């Protein structure tokens, strides 16, 4: 469901609200522009642009708790590959 929600939002060019466990164990909510997945050292990562922090962030897909599409449009800064 998480990857499907990301794909739909990306297709619609809407940001997502992403809730994920951070490296320190805290739970964070971020509004983000969805961009791509990458496999690194055998693990799947999701790359996005954090709207509030104005920068690229990556998350282990397994650490993403939930994703929901917003109605906030965005103009892609890079090719969308999700």
For the chain, the structural domain boundaries read: 2-72
Q: Give the pLDDT score at 54.
A: 98
Longest dimension (CA), the chain: 34
Measured CA to CA, the distance from residue 3 to residue 75 in angstroms comes to 20
Helix (H) or strand (E) holding 66: strand 64-73
- Candidates 1.20.1730, 2.30.30, 3.10.150, 3.40.50; CATH matching 2-72: 2.30.30
The beta-carbon contacts of 48-56 under 8 Å, at least 24 apart in sequence, are 48/16, 48/18, 49/77, 51/15
Q: Give the pLDDT score at 76.
A: 98
pTM score above 0.85: yes
Tokens (6 digits) for 62: 């397994």
pLDDT-derived band of residue 70, with 50, 70 and 90 as boundaries? Answer: very high
Looking at the chain, the whole-number percentage of residues with pLDDT higher than 70 is 100
């Amino acid at each position: 469901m998480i990857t499907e929600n990301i794909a739909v939002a990306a297709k619609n060019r809407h940001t997502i609200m992403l809730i994920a466990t951070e490296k320190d164990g805290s739970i964070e909510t971020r509004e983000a522009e969805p961009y791509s997945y990458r496999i690194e050292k055998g693990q799947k990562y999701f790359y996005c642009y954090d709207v509030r922090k104005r920068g690229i962030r990556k998350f282990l897909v397994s650490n993403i708790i939930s994703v929901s599409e917003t109605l906030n449009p965005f103009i892609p800064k890079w090719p969308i590959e999700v």
